[in-house]
Structure 1
Amino acid sequence: MTLTLWLTFLVAAILISVSPGAGAVNTMSNGLRYGVKRSLPAILGLQLGYGAQIVLVGAGLGAIVASSTTALTVIKWVGVAYLVWLGIQKWREPVMEAVEEDQSAISHRRQFWNAALVNLTNPKATVFLVALFPQFLIADAPHGPQLITMGTTLILVDCLVMLGYALLASQLFRFMTTPQRQRQMNRVFGGLFVTAAMALASFKRAA
């Protein structure tokens, strides 16, 4: 992959990550509640899910999933149900005074796997990657190194963007000084998760 081609791909990767979606909502929700440092497990979880999608597409299985209406539909509705569940959980989440220190380790694991499932159950990512990768692959060059370069670029860019989202959300923490404000914010993010679920439910693959 030439430098010019990689820079073009880098711009595409940045636009992909900056575009608001379920992953961004998840990151901002954690950033607001826990701050940047304690949001890292969720950010890493998102990258696990994203990385699995990249490997899936790179191995050629993504094309099979993308071409199978049944497989894509099943994945889509699992993702919809999961986002709705996250929204309900966020809506009902207790205020921060109720979060005890001895629960932090469990919370980290839960954050990680919740975030991983957000990206794993997103068929839009599979379809998008199937459409994106061929645009940048050089046909007469080994595909493995090119896919590794693109996959690494996507994950590193997404990590940085998600850190930015977490940092932005954490700045709102000082305004969340009362239980009432915290409940309101929990309900805002709960609503955003459900909105993301509705957007995913309305997703239709281009013919």
Structure 2
Amino acid sequence: MDMHVWLAYVVTAIVFSLAPGSGTVNSISNGLSYGTKRSLAAIAGLQIGLAVHIVLVGAGIGALVAQSALAFTIIKWVGAAYLVWLGLQKWRDRSTLATAQTVNQLSSMRLMRNAILINLTNPKSIVFLVALFPQFIDPTKDQVTQIMVLGLTTVFIDAVVMLGYTSLASQMGRFIRSDKIMSKINKVFGSMFMGCGALLAAAKA
């Protein structure tokens, strides 16, 4: 994988991880309830769930490339369109980040298990990865190596971002829970997703 392609993916993966979602809610909630240190198990659990999705998506993309170059090209166009659509949805998102602090102290294993299930049961992660990976994979080169690089990069970036959310939440809970701030965050990331989709579509024109 060329360095400039990988760097472009790093930027996209950072946007993907920063965008509020179920993993973000889990990280912030744990940060508020348990602090950063006790929440590390949950962050690890989120990455285990994400890694499972990456393996499933990677295997599917590899099989697709082997069978049909046309199908691979089509899914790249669909992926670019999906990024734009996701941006529109995020821009119009009116949901709030209702993180409740619980008095029940869960064990580290329970926190990890809950986090794994949160990511495993989130179909949006698979759909997003299916849309994202083909944009950065060269079908003429080794698929396994490229998918491994993208997968490891995704997990590392997401772990760092979730750690950041958890740490921030433990120190600035009231600010993070502000509905006004959450609305602004949704619009910022909605614009970023639409911009990524438009750029990817223009690059194929």
Query: TM-score when scaled to structure 2?
Result: 0.64
Find the aligned partners of 2:168 and 2:21 in 1 and give their Cα distance: 16
- Who is 1:148 aligned against? 148
Return the letter of the residue paired with 1:42.
Answer: A
Q: Is the 8 A contact 1:56 1:62 kept in 2?
A: no
Establish whether residue 139 from structure 1 lines up as the match of residue 139 from structure 2. yes
Match of 2:55 in 1: 55
1:62-87, Cα deviation, whole Å (9 max, x unpaired):
999xxxxxxxxxxxxxxxxxxxxxx9
Taking structure 1 as reference, are residues 127 and 63 closer, same or farther at Cα in structure 2, changes over 3 Å only? farther
The answer for the alignment partner of 2:108 in structure 1 is 108
Change in 2 beyond 3 A, CA 1:63/1:138: closer
Q: Which amino acid aligns with 1:110?
A: R
Tell me if the contact between 1:62 and 1:126 (Cα under 8 Å) persists in the aligned partners: no
| CA displacement at 1:94 relative to structure 2 | 4.7
Shift of 1:61: 8.0
Q: 1:170 corresponds to which residue?
A: 170
Q: Aligned ranges for residues 171-186 of structure 1 at < 5 Å?
A: 171-172=171-172
**Equivalent-residue separation in structure 2 for 1:117 and 1:149 (angstroms):** 24
CA contact (8 A) 1:45 1:113 kept: yes
Question: Matches of residues 1-207 of structure 1 in structure 2 within 5 Å?
Answer: 1-60=1-60, 94-95=102-103, 99=105, 107-172=107-172
Distance 1:62 1:123, change over 3 A: farther
Q: Runs of 5+ in structure 2 lacking a partner?
A: 65-96, 183-205
Do 1:42 and 1:111's aligned partners in 2 also have CA atoms closer than 8 Å? yes
The farther-off stretch of 54-63 and 132-141 is 54-63
Q: CA deviation at 1:172?
A: 3.5
Contact 1:22–1:118 at 8 Å: present in 2 too? yes
Cα offsets for 1:147-172 (capped at 9, x unmatched): 00000000000000001001101104
Deviation for aligned residue 1:35: 1.0
CA distance in 2, matches of 1:148, 1:131: 17
Q: How many residues align?
A: 146
Equivalent residues of 1:63, 1:130 under 8 A apart = no
CA distance in 2, matches of 1:63, 1:25: 34
TM-score, length basis structure 1? 0.63
- Distance, in Å, in 1 between the alignment partners of 2:62 and 2:22 is 20
Native 8 Å contact 1:31 1:166 kept in 2: yes
SS in 1 for 2:138: coil
Alpha-carbon distance in structure 2 between the residues aligned to 1:123 and 1:61: 17
Give identity over the alignment, percent: 50
Partners of 1:36 and 1:130 in 2: CA distance: 31
In structure 1, give the amino acid aligned to 2:108.
H
In angstroms, what is the RMSD of aligned CA positions? Answer: 2.9
Moved over 6 A (4+): 61-64
